[in-house]
Amino acid sequence: MHPASVVASGYLYPSPDSLSTLEGVVESLPRSLAQKALADFIDEVGRLELGEWEELHTRTLDLSPAFVPYVGHVTWGENYRRGEFMADLKGDMRRNGIELNGELPDHIEPILRYVAAAPEPLSDLLDVLVGAVTQMQSTLASADKKNPYRHLLAATLAVVEDLKPVVIGVRR
């Protein structure tokens, strides 16, 4: 399983089998910064009851989120450029078989699945993604320094940073 897909699964709403699923897939990752950060996330959410994790997820990612999980919004706000970005992304996601499952195309979870599936993601997406995730980390650190999702953001950044040289190298 591609590391970006593994990390993407951490952004899904928790269910009774989420923890065991995450524990199983983290084992498939090579030892790396992403694998360590994801293991730290699993360790911290694993100490919570399912209801507590659901509440944390909602508080962190949905209702008055601790950080906004929408890459385009973080990068451009409610600007026309975000709309263009989402339209381009949605089209390329469709061509690569990525379902949005009710999310906007600039939500971090489908973007990670897209990055894992697309042989050549949209040009400059990884640069935009690095900047957006870095901003998300900063926002979360200001809002809640001990939130377990800080580890998931670190895993996201590590996966994207690992992909950047490969994708850039392919295009040249």
For the segment 31-76, what is each residue's pLDDT rounded down to a tens digit?
Answer: 999 999 999 999 999 999 999 999 999 999 987 788 999 999 999 9
Question: Domain holding 48: CATH number?
Answer: 1.10.3480
pTM: 0.91
Q: What is the pLDDT of residue 13?
A: 96
Question: Domain total for the chain?
Answer: 1
Q: Any idea what the Cα angle at residue 92 is, between residues 88 and 94, rounded to 5°? A: 120
- Using DSSP, state whether 124 is helix, strand or coil: coil
> Quick one: tokens of 77?
């706000």
pLDDT digits (tens, 9 = 90+) for 144-153: 999 999 999 9
Q: How far apart are CA 89 and CA 122, in angstroms?
A: 7
Q: Which structural domain range is residue 98 located in?
A: 3-171
